[in-house]
Amino acid sequence: MTAKKILALAISLSMLLGLAACNFKKIEVPSDKEVKKEVEDEYDKKFKLDSSDVSKDGSEAEWVFIAKDGTVEVTVTWSSKKPNKFDMEEEWLIVLPSQSDAERFVEETYGKPFDMIYEDISDDESEAEWVFIDEDETFEVTVYWSSSNPEFHFYEEAYTGHTDDPGNNSNVPGYGHGDEVIHLWGYSSDAAAIVEKFVELHPDFADKYTVAVTIVPTDGGGYQEALDKALAAGEDKAPDIYMVESNFAVKYTQGDMSKFAATFKELGIDADNKIKAAEIAQYSVDIGTRDGEVVALSYQSTSGAMIYRASIAKQVFGTDDPAEIEKIFGAGTGSWDKFWDAANTLKSSGYKVVSGENDVWQACSTNTSQPWVDSDHNLVISPEREEYFDFAKKLIDEGFANGNNSWSEGWYKDMQNSDVFCYFGPDWMINYVMMGNSGGYSVGEGSYGDWRVCLPPVGFYWGGTWVLGNRNTDQKEGVAELIEWITLDTSDTGLQYLWATDMMNNYTQDTVTSNVVMAKVHFDCDFCGGQNIFETYMKCNVLASGKNATQYDETINLYFLDYAQQYAYGYFTRDDAIFLFTDMVNDGYID
């Protein structure tokens, strides 16, 4: 072959290769969002991404999605060889129980036969409700089931509704013996204990009224479901007084169900003056205020402090004095700058500032300048909450934490003699969590007696119960008397004094929302080296704010924590984590 022909062939080959290169388009791996849409279109459900795995050369990928209602897990595989095809394999996780299953549950619970009188199953079979009546037709039992928490939840009520003498009805506990009936709903045994004590201390009230108490556990949203139905049904189905937990309190004080709440003014309670006189914690008022009027207040205080190890403080900082530790950590400044400086100092001495990145979440979450959802129903990530992404990652990357999730075995273990300096929490965390996990029961055993409390860098609260009256109640006078005793009475026979002095059989003194009550009661806590922790928690009451809480917080917080943690441990970039979080919340959660 001549040189000329070889040159011509080379030019032709070059042109062909160039043309091929121009026409070749690299096949991109589909995005998580694209795959999620395909899955949701296929199953007609909302899904969340559980995991994803892409091969190094980008030729294959796998995603695992779980339905938000918890019913099914879908594994999606993709290959660049067939780029327009998604192979989906499903695994059904939860199956709707039958009516006979629910009936068997009720009959085993009560030890007697029942007949079903009502059944309601959602179209996607993710939720169900059955109503049964016992063989004597004396009371009904409503059973709830949800795929998001696949256990039976139930509550009972007298079949005849509000009887003339519910105190004689064994199915709905009644306190007092009067002809006038007040129905109170709660989600824990505290509700019954509170009513029982009130009736005991107020014989004239007991002569006039009987308070029937219905308890429905909060598990799986059972209490909210039952309460919503009862309030909507009205008349003899609705409670006159109802208690709500902080995770969903705003729904009933300011949100979708707030229309049923009476203002304290409508009940005849002089809320404004009595709140000032009792020095009620502002966050409690914030949560319980609708359009400038108080509709609910809490009684036990859940404002948060920094709870730290005295021995570590003395070794690292040269002092265990709460006033000095507050200065070192920037207590009440609204800034975490000094916290990070202190964390570095602790690290250089071989200590962790916290057990896990979630330990600071409550402080970042409730102390925020903007709500999760604005007035136009748009998702808003406030600067304080967005900062938590960096906060969590820094705690992990810099070795400032042990990486233990809240409520995990490692988290509890760090409450003993460990390398962890502090936790953030209300008084209930000391009394009901840390004491039992300190490795001892008296001073000198484990870490018992080695803890102190001081103000945190930013104010916050964690938990609590708010009490509301039904605006349609026929018993406004009695309802007002009971609610005022629970939330505003600062006398030595008021609930808050009894709560703070361990006269409600809580086995310990507990903080309350009235600083007037806390000021006249000392809690020289052995667990905290004899420190009067009420003195600090009074300041925490003033520091905490509830102005930007919304009815969406509970679920949005869970999503946010999930993606913040995945970013902190390097599973997502910061931008991707925020994008996926925003997409999940906007994709059907905010109504």
Do residues 429 and 558 share a domain?
A: yes
Query: Is 161 part of a structural domain of the chain?
Result: yes
Do residues 475 and 569 share a domain?
A: no
Position 304 scores a pLDDT of 97
Do residues 515 and 557 share a domain?
A: no
Q: What is the rounded average pLDDT of the residues 547-569?
A: 91
Higher pLDDT, 106 or 69: 106
Query: Is 154 part of a structural domain of the chain?
Result: yes
Q: What is the rounded average pLDDT of the residues 437-450?
A: 94
pLDDT tier for residue 143 given thresholds of 50, 70 and 90: confident
Residue 107 reports pLDDT greater than 70: yes
> What is residue 280's DSSP assignment?
B
- Range ranked top by mean pLDDT from 2-11, 31-40, 51-60, 450-459: 450-459
The amino acid sitting at 139 is F
pLDDT tier for residue 357 given thresholds of 50, 70 and 90: very high
Whole-angstrom distance, CA of residue 107 vs CA of residue 130: 13
Query: Is 75 part of a structural domain of the chain?
Result: yes
Higher pLDDT, 92 or 52: 52
Q: What is the rounded average pLDDT of the residues 555-582?
A: 91
Position 173 scores a pLDDT of 58
Q: What is the rounded average pLDDT of the residues 558-574?
A: 91
Tokens of 452: 């102190």
Range with lowest mean pLDDT among 54-58, 94-98, 370-374: 94-98
Query: Is 65 part of a structural domain of the chain?
Result: yes
Query: Is 19 part of a structural domain of the chain?
Result: no
Q: What is the rounded average pLDDT of the residues 343-363?
A: 96
Out of 504, 523, 542, pick the residue that ends a domain: 523
Q: What is the rounded average pLDDT of the residues 349-359?
A: 96
Query: Is 424 part of a structural domain of the chain?
Result: yes
**Which candidate, 380, 372, 385, 382, places its Cα nearest to that of 550?**
372
Do residues 514 and 555 share a domain?
A: no
The predicted-structure confidence for 46-72, as pLDDT tens digits, reads as follows 888 888 899 888 889 999 988 876 778
Residues 6+ away with beta carbon under 8 Å from 16: none
Do residues 168 and 238 share a domain?
A: yes
Tokens of 561: 């924590």
Tokens of 576: 């991707």
Do residues 224 and 273 share a domain?
A: yes
Residue 551 reports pLDDT greater than 80: yes
Phi, psi of 531 (to 5 degrees): -65, 140
Range with lowest mean pLDDT among 13-17, 367-371, 527-531, 555-559: 13-17
Position 488 scores a pLDDT of 98
Higher pLDDT, 5 or 113: 113
Query: Is 194 part of a structural domain of the chain?
Result: yes
Do residues 387 and 343 share a domain?
A: yes
Query: Is 7 part of a structural domain of the chain?
Result: no
Whole-angstrom distance, CA of residue 200 vs CA of residue 215: 20
Residue 387 reports pLDDT greater than 50: yes
Do residues 223 and 207 share a domain?
A: yes
- Please tell me the total count of domains within the chain: 3
pLDDT tier for residue 471 given thresholds of 50, 70 and 90: very high
For the chain, give the percent of residues with pLDDT over 70: 90
Do residues 295 and 325 share a domain?
A: no
Position 24 scores a pLDDT of 42
**Which candidate, 163, 119, 158, places its Cα nearest to that of 140?**
158
Position 342 scores a pLDDT of 98
Q: What is the CATH number of the domain that holds 117?
A: 3.40.190.10
The predicted-structure confidence for 283-316, as pLDDT tens digits, reads as follows 999 999 999 999 999 999 999 999 999 999 999 9
Position 14 scores a pLDDT of 44
Q: In what order do the strands lie in the sheet with 305-309?
A: 422-425, 305-309, 451-454
Do residues 387 and 485 share a domain?
A: no
Out of 485, 504, 523, pick the residue that ends a domain: 523
Residue 10 reports pLDDT greater than 60: no
Position 397 scores a pLDDT of 95
Position 165 scores a pLDDT of 36
Residue 279 reports pLDDT greater than 80: yes
Position 156 scores a pLDDT of 59
Residue 418 reports pLDDT greater than 60: yes
Q: What is the rounded average pLDDT of the residues 376-385?
A: 89
Residue 448 reports pLDDT greater than 70: yes
Do residues 327 and 426 share a domain?
A: yes
Position 164 scores a pLDDT of 33
Q: What is the span of the domain harbouring residue 139?
A: 99-301+464-523
Position 11 scores a pLDDT of 40
Out of 56, 90, 124, pick the residue that ends a domain: 90
Residue 16 reports pLDDT greater than 60: no
Q: What is the rounded average pLDDT of the residues 164-173?
A: 40
How would you classify the pairing of strands 174-176 and 209-215? antiparallel
- Angle between helix axes 322-329 and 337-348 (nearest 10 degrees) is 110
| Angle at the Cα of 485 from the Cα atoms of 484 and 491, rounded to 5 degrees | 120
Range with lowest mean pLDDT among 8-22, 115-129, 554-568: 8-22
Do residues 181 and 199 share a domain?
A: yes
